Structure 1
């Protein structure tokens, strides 16, 4: 059975096409119309009240840049909150590991059981989990080099006229 309307990849927003150089060759006027007819204004939403100080600082750090890129609206509050909370957790667990390593001679990273078996400490596991969460949530906004690679604006010189002036009117009838 063939797919339905939900099959396949999701369509990219017009801003992503523009930032990646419009590799799909969509008409420029359609992309411009879609970007200008955005149903929601580009703005940083208010941070949720449950974010801690580190998460709020991250919110304030990345918010203006997301507005400049046109990648955030008030509907993106939860995704941005997930990213900021994960960054805050990552910082908290990193500082905890550093403190334990200083106090306990390197035992903040590795836990030794009574049997002699060694494993990553719970603090390192929590830090690794926060790192994965921050990477996954940040990729939605292009916060890693790999995610940003596809959002990088490609500065290219304009192509110029495809047809000489006398053929331009004829080409406009059919294209």
Structure 2
């Protein structure tokens, strides 16, 4: 979900760790309750049948790691499948490029032969972009992992005022 400015809404725990003080304790607890209410289950994660073997192998690796990190839920299956399918298509495209080269000879309708870029180069680039986008969504790149990281902050000692009056 995004706000009107187009920036992604941060989970409340990240807002708190960032030191944002604009929310009261009641507002923080309300946000935590809403986030928990809208957290999907992860009890039915299965690899889709329509994926080819390379995509299924990639699924096995990614789904295990994402489940261990609690970043994969039932409603993410489609997105992860697209990610794995794109990975497989990049591999297939690169195999075709290796087999035929970066340039291929094309015979036009007039019978003239022209050297043109191998169409599999464009296909590999297209699926690489798709793969990169989905990897970013799942925190599978170094930059994406940094965005997901929630640094543990040591609790600050309470001041005399806070001990007497709490968080007013």
Summarize the alignment of residues 1-175 of structure 1 with structure 2, pairs less than 5 Å apart.
7-9=4-6, 10-14=8-12, 17=14, 22-23=17-18, 25=20, 33=33, 36-43=36-43, 45-100=45-100, 108-112=101-105, 118-156=115-153, 158-164=154-160, 167-172=162-167, 174=168
Q: Higher mean Cα deviation, 76-85 or 66-75?
A: 66-75
Shift in CA distance, 161/97, structure 1 to aligned 2, threshold 3 Å = same
Match of 1:105 in 2: none
Give per-residue Cα distances to partners, 1:110-157, cap 9 Å, x unaligned. Answer: 23556786542111111111101101111110122222221134344x
Query: Per-residue deviation at 1:32?
Result: 5.5
CA distance in 2, matches of 1:24, 1:90: 42
Query: Per-residue deviation at 1:36?
Result: 4.7
CA distance in 2, matches of 1:93, 1:111: 14
SS at match of 1:111: strand
| Residue correspondences, number | 157
* Structure 1 contact 43–67 (Cα < 8 Å) conserved: no
Structure 1's unaligned 5+ residue stretches are 101-107
Shift in CA distance, 117/91, structure 1 to aligned 2, threshold 3 Å = same
Shift in CA distance, 153/49, structure 1 to aligned 2, threshold 3 Å = same
RMSD across aligned C-alpha pairs, in angstroms?
3.1
For normalisation by structure 2, the TM-score amounts to 0.74
* Structure 1 contact 55–85 (Cα < 8 Å) conserved: yes
CA distance in 1, matches of 2:87, 2:4: 33
Structure 2's unaligned 5+ residue stretches are none
* Structure 1 contact 14–34 (Cα < 8 Å) conserved: no
Query: Per-residue deviation at 1:14?
Result: 4.6
